Amino acid sequence: MKIKGTNISMTRGDSESITVRCSEPFAAGDTVTMTVREDVESEIVLQKNATSFDENGAAVLAIEPGDTEGLEFGDYVYDIQIRWADGTVATVLPVSRFHLEGEVTY
């Protein structure tokens, strides 16, 4: 299963959260990972994992102010991958745009 690419735009240094749901609720042993890079071949600039899930089995990837405050304004790429407890791996959100907006108060 793949979700059509979804672009993200957020203000650098703000708090944000991304909720990920699947047709099968996530459970103990599953890991949902979001990875952000300048481009698909560069080093990781931000990576968030969820290994615990809400009462509906959804993963919440929390982006804290410190996660982005040191990054340059502009465009990056990201994807979201699931590693199920049985070892199966699926990239459920393919490479999409992650844009960091400028800020005045920092």
- C-alpha–C-alpha distance, residues 29 and 31, integer Å: 7
pTM: 0.91
Looking at residue 1, its pLDDT comes to 40
Pair 48, 78: CB distance under 8 Å: no
Over the chain (106 residues), the average pLDDT of each successive run of 10 is: 70 94 92 97 97 93 96 96 96 93 83
Domain boundaries, the chain: 8-101
Looking at residue 2, its pLDDT comes to 43
- Topology of domain 8-101, CATH: Immunoglobulin-like (2.60.40)
Looking at residue 5, its pLDDT comes to 62
Q: Work out whether the CA dihedral 52, 56, 58, 63 comes out positive or negative.
A: negative
